[in-house]
Structure 1
């Protein structure tokens, strides 16, 4: 089963990510084992967003009134614009994929371990009112 078809380069959150883990993983099929493991963790694959390539950059990059502008405003409000957006932008430009997985606060570490175990880095948990780094850049 190809887990990537429905989740590729879609709007992954509205005004801001809330109760979600986001990170970068190597491009190619590295998201497949992550997506395959999620149902066993109680997370449905159809709620996960994956960005990659030029289309992913267009979604992430700030555009007037677009999702990128709303994401940028969210990160600016927390002082994380330079650190997080640049990491994700750089990763997408290098051929990596950005993955956003809805997760509760208690589940964040298990999701972060899953990403890290599949080559993930720049993993952050976006909670209600806070952002927490779960891995290094």
Structure 2
């Protein structure tokens, strides 16, 4: 499984909203500018996040987006599933011989465990930690 730019930028949007949680709506324009991303592309990504109930849009001159729940109540898995679909490493796993099938299942479960146990709160706090020399790097 390879996480596309859609998933990566979706996490970026959600982390930025988590860092500003409780401070009011955040315009996509400011997220795009701060992360050197296309505002138009972020608009396409935020739509499924809104439809899934992860973010709310606020209209008006001081509008933007806010998280629909607290950052500690949203996992990275919630976001990735909305933007990338279900986690599937290998197609036709049921046709694999038992030893290989067990390996693929164990890898899938390990990835699911990381995604389900890493909240937006964790990611937002980590991104604010200036003492860390390296950020989270997920290779899947």
- Higher-strand-fraction structure: 1
- The one of the two structures with greater contact order (alpha-carbon pairs below 8 A, sep at least 6) is 1
Q: Same fold (TM over 0.5)?
A: no
Query: Scaled by the length of structure 2, what TM-score is found?
Result: 0.26
TM-score by length of 1: 0.27
Is the radius of gyration larger for structure 1 or structure 2?
2
Structure 1 or 2: larger helix share?
2
